[in-house]
Amino acid sequence: MDLSRDIEALVTDFMVLVEQAVDRAMERRLLTSAPTRPNGEQLVGVAAAAERLGISTSTVYKMAARVELPSVKLGGRLLFKLADLAAHAEKRRRTPAIVARLARGRNRIDQRD
């Protein structure tokens, strides 16, 4: 029956939204006591990572699942090193040289002028 599939899909979507809301609430609560690794590197949660990168939390979850964004699983929390977030942003930074190449129709960064 189509109605039961629709209800199941709604319940699944609702569960995902609740999980994300709980993650954000826990992150806000633990913001003052963010985990620090033995070498002094601070770890931040999904919401903070999303804010730093200017993307949504769902995108952060997807990128972590595809291992496009390095992450640490600590208990039930997904955490990110600040250095990894900065490296991710820097790798995707658009420099004037790259923009000029793109404007000339070259979409490969590794091509020489």
Q: Mind listing the pLDDT tens digit of every residue in the chain (113 residues)?
A: 688 888 988 988 988 888 888 877 776 665 545 555 566 678 999 999 999 999 999 999 999 999 999 999 888 889 999 999 999 988 888 778 777 887 887 555 554 44
- For the question of whether the overall pTM of this predicted structure is more than 0.85, the answer is no
**Res 96: pLDDT:** 81
Judge whether 80 and 44 are in contact, CB under 8 Å.
yes
Q: What is the dihedral of CA 13, 24, 77, 57, to 10 degrees?
A: 60
- Residue among 56, 54, 61 nearest 80 (CA): 61
The one-letter code for the residue type at 61 is Y
Burial class (CB in 10 A: 0-12, 13-18, 19+), 66: exposed
- Residue among 54, 41, 111 nearest 82 (CA): 41
Q: Can you tell me whether residue 69 is helix, strand or coil?
A: coil
Angle separating helix axes 82-91 and 46-53, nearest 10 degrees? 30
Query: How far is Cα 34 from Cα 42, in angstroms, rounded to an integer?
Result: 7
